[in-house]
Structure 1
Amino acid sequence: MNRKSQTLSALGVVFGDIGTSPLYAVSVAISSLGAGDLQPEAVMGCISLILWALIIVVTLKYVIFVMRADNDGQGGVFALYGLLHLKSGRQSRDQDSRRGLALQLWILILAAGLLFGDGVITPAISVLSAMEGLSVIAPASGSLVVPLTVLMLAALFAVQFMGTSRIGGLFGPITLLWFVTITYFGLRQILVHPEILWALNPMFALQFFAQHTLRAALVVLGGVMLVVTGGEALYADMGHFGKSPIRRAWFAVVFPALIVSYLGQGAFLLSGAHVGNVFFSSLPSSSVLPVVILATAATVIASQALISGAFSLTAQASALGLFPRLKLVHTHHQHEGQVYSPLVNSLLFIGSVWLVIRFGSSLALGSAYGLAVSGNMFATSIAMITVAQSYWRWTSWQAFGLFGAFAAVDLVFLISNCTKFEDGGYIPVTIAAVLFMVMVSWRWGRKATFNAYMNVNTMTMAELIALRSRQRHFLDKNVILMVPNPLLQMEDRAPALLQLFWERYGVFPRHLIFLQVMHRKSPFIHDERYRVTTFVNKSDHGSVSSMTVYFGFMEDPNVEAILETTARNHLVDLSPIPGDWMIHTSIENILAPGNMSVLRRWRLKVFLLLRQISTPGYYYYGLGNRVQLSIEVLPVRLGDAFLRT
């Protein structure tokens, strides 16, 4: 793909969200002023705030600096989580530093929850704002806006199972046409009121604060925040296109178009015309209908990017051990990153439709939108302080000076959106809090279960080999036992699952493989995909070996394909035909102590509920379709260590 094609594709996928913000951002911002306060100075100050938010938050922070922090080419909140997690494992740090790093990891987990909230709100506000153009054409059609929005959302979510590959080729040209359109109509208004160009002077933004009370200024900033929604997408989608195409698209097309569009809407406000939706009211009446159609297409594209992002976030969170393994369908055989989750899709649809019905307009829904975005941006700035010091070798003064300043700006936006908490800001906070509880409970439960599993007293590998050497008859099968930890030395303890196998069959298999799957905190694995340790390999007594398979959190964990490869290359004693394998795995029957506190008991109940909806490991790893599969119930007792976690 050449540079032009890459840039065009990036336009469609990356910039849909931030590109459709002109539909509602100015309307939300100026609505906070009240009709009686739309004086030229207030309009100039409000537009100046919008322009400099784009310059500071998106251009300087994300495009120039944050996009340098890639995790093997990937960006986004989980890429940052992986970078910080890798850093925590590389160096021995003092206790205060470890606590600070742990706090940043928890903040990023909370930010991931806010991103899911963003995925619920964006389809609702984007499509709703486009449909509101109908009321400009025919005011009597205002009652149809909500039903039509719900129908559009239903159609959008109904086709998610198909994936984006079939229609993705149209995204770029449509989005490019959208940016050309808003640039054209913005220029028309600027030519009528060229004095709006003075809004490029940041002094008007500063004067705005001087002329208004702190509360009034914060409320307006909550609306201004909407112009930078989608800024995080530039970083999150970096792995799909790379830094250069995204930066080219931003500086050549998106940034100029947004600046001109916002200046144009400001110029229209200077005319003193009575407005509802500023964007559509600023258009010539003959152009409203075609622009509504184009805006609808653009908002669907913006929504699609957020929906696909929610699917990818789910897959990444599962691979990082932060979320239950949900059923994921890969919608493209060549692009493993394109996934679809039926459960997540249903939840997003229900949430988006409820928001449309609950709020009824993009103006009202704007109160719920900014809090999720500002919280996520603040978390990114905090994490970047450590990344800059650890990976770029910046001094503390440099890292805190730059990203501390960005964090301060983000914090102001966050505080400004907190003023809208009761008006709708509670929605993303509630979603984030629920998902934070889910991720924390799942991570805690998995760790407690693993520790309890490892405390089960079993024989060592040396004892297993000695016992097996005295055996005269073997089960003539290739048996694979899935285990939670790697077995590398004779002193390592054999898994408890082996005892259950022995009790069932009374003999050991001729060829025994202990298989562990490990997800690293990097997106992809470039070096060692698997490691094989051979304990026994004799022609008369078969073989015993251990195999650890590594995956990155962006990869499809197809274990069956890896096993076939190792079998063909004779790295393990395994038939190349999956139908000849017998795979044994276990489901833990968790036995909890009776003296738990009420809080810990409820926490355990949440974890057990999450286990019920989690996809079994063998299905998640692509096993069970062509192999013989045996699932054992393994009692695991949570001991005293559990009570202290």
Structure 2
Amino acid sequence: MIIGALGVVFGDIGTSPIYTIQTVFNPDDPHPVPIDADSIYGVVSLIFWSVMIIVTLTYVVLVMHADNDGEGGVMALITLVRRLGSRSSPRIIGALSALGILGAALFFGDSMITPAISVLSAVEGLKVVDPRLGEWVVAITAVIIVGLFAVQRQGTGVVGRYFGPVMVVWFSAIGACGVWGITSHPQILKALSPMYALGFMAGHFHIAFFALAAIVLSVTGAEALYADMGHFGRPSITVAWVALVLPACVLNYFGQGALLLGDEQARSAPFFLLTPGWAQVPMIVLATAATVIASQAVITGAYSVASQAAQLGYLPRLRVAHTSESTIGQIYVPWINGFLMVAVLILVFAFRSSEALAYAFGMAVTGTITITTLLFLYIAHTRWRWPLWAVIIGGGALLTVDLMFLAANLTKLVHGAWLPLLIGLVTFTVLITWQRGSAVISLAREKAEGPLPPFIEEIADRRPPLPRVPGTAVFLNRESETAPLSMRANVNHNHVVHERVIILSIVVPPVPRVPDEERITVDDLGIPDDGIWYVAARFGYMERPNVPAALRMIDPALIGGPVDCGDASYFLSKIEVVPGDQPTMAPWRKRIFIATSFMAADSVGYFGLPSDQTVLIGSRIEV
């Protein structure tokens, strides 16, 4: 699991040394940082303490303990906030939930930018070997990215098994290069003292503040540690970080700082120039492999966030493939995979260099980190009963760091930071529009379906009684209070009822998984001998609902015998949504809602129903 985590989780943050210091001292920066001894010591010290405060303290020590039954990520925090809703006002819970959704939206932006900047930065190493190779950088990057997304269907576990050993070699190599650089100017180790970071901020604030927009690149990938926690678990991620990833990255940053102390001209590509000449080509190949793996961290995180968003009602249900028999959190979401691939390729061809993407990258990261810290502090105070003074003092210190980085990146708004904000705003709009539209559709369906108990009583009181046809009919329904549209249509138009009728609702409580003993609830709806039962099947938001499997778990004594799933007929209500004149949403939001509905997975496949035993009965609802 530790090797697998190295291959999936740490690629993003583990490849940050390729471009972080290079971006800080980029002479073409709109707010350039002068390259002198004071700046080098200050920047290296700021990088070290940023990694220690944001990644080690905030994420590894604190935030990763705020898991939802093992699952991490912004959506897990939103779920925890909702579960604590009774302890706060609805307005606070609503604001925090909206903030969390914005954080998830920014994470999707991060998932698009990371593969583009990571692979570009590695392939750009070819220019160090031969500047004439620069014209091939974009084309090679595009080919690598297409290949990366093509292998995702194999599953996180398979990818991790191949990528893990590569990352062990990568971290060993960059750590060794860092040691080699430090030996040339060991005085760089003085930057381990926080006084250099504080002195740089206090004495050169007009320079250091703008430098934070690039220094934040050293912590990119911290949010992926949390989002991917369900894939590998907190212990594996913590051990890998402390034992290998953190030491290797820190040694490399200090080695690059030592190199710049001796040769200021190395700022054009300090990572690759830190490598001995004979090893530069192998390092470029290894860096390319590592940046492909870096992209894996946010891609798998995006799968988790999208799947959780769908189960929590912020996206339509998506086709999710579980790729591991032993680890349920390892999933593959085809629609998200295809969308990300197209978005990443567009960014590569539009920006064409890692430097052009650097400021866009920082904005996405700082926004997500700040929101995660805010939600964590609320949970720490409300769930864990941290005293208010500790939350204000400790949380205030953490938020001060986050907000400094966020403010610095806002100064780069016109230089690329607008991109993740635009992506985040569009994604946020789609998420909340789907939630709002779903609520509108639910109300319309409730009116069309009518209450369930009177409908069942009407069937029982019919004279003459409705004919009973052989077999078992399973009508999928959204909830226990209303009658399924498909069943109402079957009774009103076909004028028949099956010998045994099961009205089945899929319930998704705010937990990742539901124990088997709590899976099924049976209700005879107050008429024990009419052959009609209501069944609620509970699935966690990280589980894929399987109707036949749920039916087999029903106690036969409760429904007059076991269910023969091979002989049952399944009825689904298929809703066609069309724009209407009701003032439920703005017209443009209605169009977004209808367009988003095309993402929805096929209901038959999503619920595990046999297609040759399933009947779809359509209905039209205006939104």
**1:584 alignment partner, SS class:** strand
Identify the match of residue 566 of structure 2 among 557, 579, 590: 579
Equivalent residue runs for 1:550-629 within 5 Å: 550-566=538-554, 569=556, 571-573=558-560, 576-590=563-577, 594=581, 596=583, 600-625=586-611, 628-629=613-614
* Partner Cα separation in structure 1 for residue 277 and residue 452 of structure 2: 81
* Partner Cα separation in structure 2 for residue 283 and residue 463 of structure 1: 76
- 2:295 corresponds in structure 1 to 303
- 1:643 corresponds in structure 2 to none
| Structure 2 counterpart of 1:585, one-letter code | L
| Structure 2 counterpart of 1:485, one-letter code | E
Q: Is 1:141 aligned to 2:133, yes or no?
A: yes
- Aligned identity (percent) is 37
Number of matched pairs: 617
| Structure 1 counterpart of 2:598, one-letter code | Q
Identify the match of residue 477 of structure 1 among 471, 481, 493: 471
| Structure 1 counterpart of 2:547, one-letter code | V
- 2:57 corresponds in structure 1 to 60
* Partner Cα separation in structure 2 for residue 401 and residue 35 of structure 1: 34
- 1:356 corresponds in structure 2 to 348
* Partner Cα separation in structure 2 for residue 613 and residue 387 of structure 1: 33
Post-superposition shift, 1:437?
0.8
Identify the match of residue 9 of structure 2 among 6, 14, 29: 14
* Partner Cα separation in structure 2 for residue 506 and residue 254 of structure 1: 67
What is the aligned-residue RMSD (CA, Å)?
Answer: 2.3
| Structure 1 counterpart of 2:16, one-letter code | S
- 2:222 corresponds in structure 1 to 231
Equivalent residue runs for 1:416-435 within 5 Å: 416-435=408-427
* Partner Cα separation in structure 2 for residue 79 and residue 187 of structure 1: 39
Gaps of 5+ in 2: none
**1:58 alignment partner, SS class:** helix
Of 304-313 and 328-337, deviating more is: 328-337
| Structure 2 counterpart of 1:136, one-letter code | V
Q: Is 1:545 aligned to 2:533, yes or no?
A: yes
- 1:641 corresponds in structure 2 to none
Q: 1:635 to 1:237 in 2, by over 3 A?
A: closer
1:240-267 deviations in Å (ceiling 9; x for gaps): 3332222222221111111111110100
Of 495-504 and 344-353, deviating more is: 495-504
TM-score by length of 2: 0.93
Are the aligned partners of 2:578 and 2:594 in contact in 1 as well (CA < 8 Å)? no
Post-superposition shift, 1:499?
2.4
Of 581-590 and 552-561, deviating more is: 581-590
- 2:43 corresponds in structure 1 to 46
* Partner Cα separation in structure 1 for residue 33 and residue 486 of structure 2: 74
* Partner Cα separation in structure 1 for residue 149 and residue 566 of structure 2: 38
Are the aligned partners of 1:478 and 1:575 in contact in 2 as well (CA < 8 Å)? no
TM-score by length of 1: 0.90
Q: 1:161 to 1:428 in 2, by over 3 A?
A: same
Are the aligned partners of 2:320 and 2:544 in contact in 1 as well (CA < 8 Å)? no
Q: Is 1:194 aligned to 2:186, yes or no?
A: yes
Are the aligned partners of 1:44 and 1:196 in contact in 2 as well (CA < 8 Å)? yes
| Structure 1 counterpart of 2:518, one-letter code | E
- 2:242 corresponds in structure 1 to 251
Post-superposition shift, 1:574?
6.8
| Structure 2 counterpart of 1:155, one-letter code | G
Are the aligned partners of 1:536 and 1:544 in contact in 2 as well (CA < 8 Å)? no
1:450-497 deviations in Å (ceiling 9; x for gaps): 12222347365256235325526312231111112125xxxxx53444
Are the aligned partners of 2:87 and 2:382 in contact in 1 as well (CA < 8 Å)? no
**1:580 alignment partner, SS class:** coil
- 1:508 corresponds in structure 2 to 497
- 1:342 corresponds in structure 2 to 334
* Partner Cα separation in structure 2 for residue 358 and residue 175 of structure 1: 29
- 1:631 corresponds in structure 2 to 616
1:398-423 deviations in Å (ceiling 9; x for gaps): 22322232122111111111122222
Identify the match of residue 369 of structure 1 among 361, 366, 369: 361
Are the aligned partners of 1:218 and 1:419 in contact in 2 as well (CA < 8 Å)? no
Identify the match of residue 522 of structure 1 among 494, 511, 514: 511
Are the aligned partners of 1:478 and 1:509 in contact in 2 as well (CA < 8 Å)? yes
Q: 1:161 to 1:12 in 2, by over 3 A?
A: closer
Are the aligned partners of 1:384 and 1:403 in contact in 2 as well (CA < 8 Å)? no
**2:153 alignment partner, SS class:** helix
Are the aligned partners of 2:10 and 2:245 in contact in 1 as well (CA < 8 Å)? yes
Identify the match of residue 71 of structure 1 among 35, 52, 68: 68
* Partner Cα separation in structure 1 for residue 437 and residue 402 of structure 2: 33
- 1:490 corresponds in structure 2 to none
**1:633 alignment partner, SS class:** strand
| Structure 1 counterpart of 2:505, one-letter code | Q
Of 398-407 and 474-483, deviating more is: 398-407
Equivalent residue runs for 1:183-332 within 5 Å: 183-214=175-206, 216-275=207-266, 276-332=268-324
Q: 1:543 to 1:375 in 2, by over 3 A?
A: same
**2:522 alignment partner, SS class:** strand
* Partner Cα separation in structure 2 for residue 335 and residue 213 of structure 1: 48
Post-superposition shift, 1:178?
1.0
* Partner Cα separation in structure 2 for residue 60 and residue 166 of structure 1: 30
Q: 1:347 to 1:512 in 2, by over 3 A?
A: same
Of 454-463 and 19-28, deviating more is: 454-463
**1:535 alignment partner, SS class:** coil
Are the aligned partners of 2:335 and 2:599 in contact in 1 as well (CA < 8 Å)? no
| Structure 1 counterpart of 2:506, one-letter code | V
* Partner Cα separation in structure 1 for residue 20 and residue 304 of structure 2: 27
Are the aligned partners of 1:77 and 1:111 in contact in 2 as well (CA < 8 Å)? yes
Q: 1:459 to 1:8 in 2, by over 3 A?
A: closer
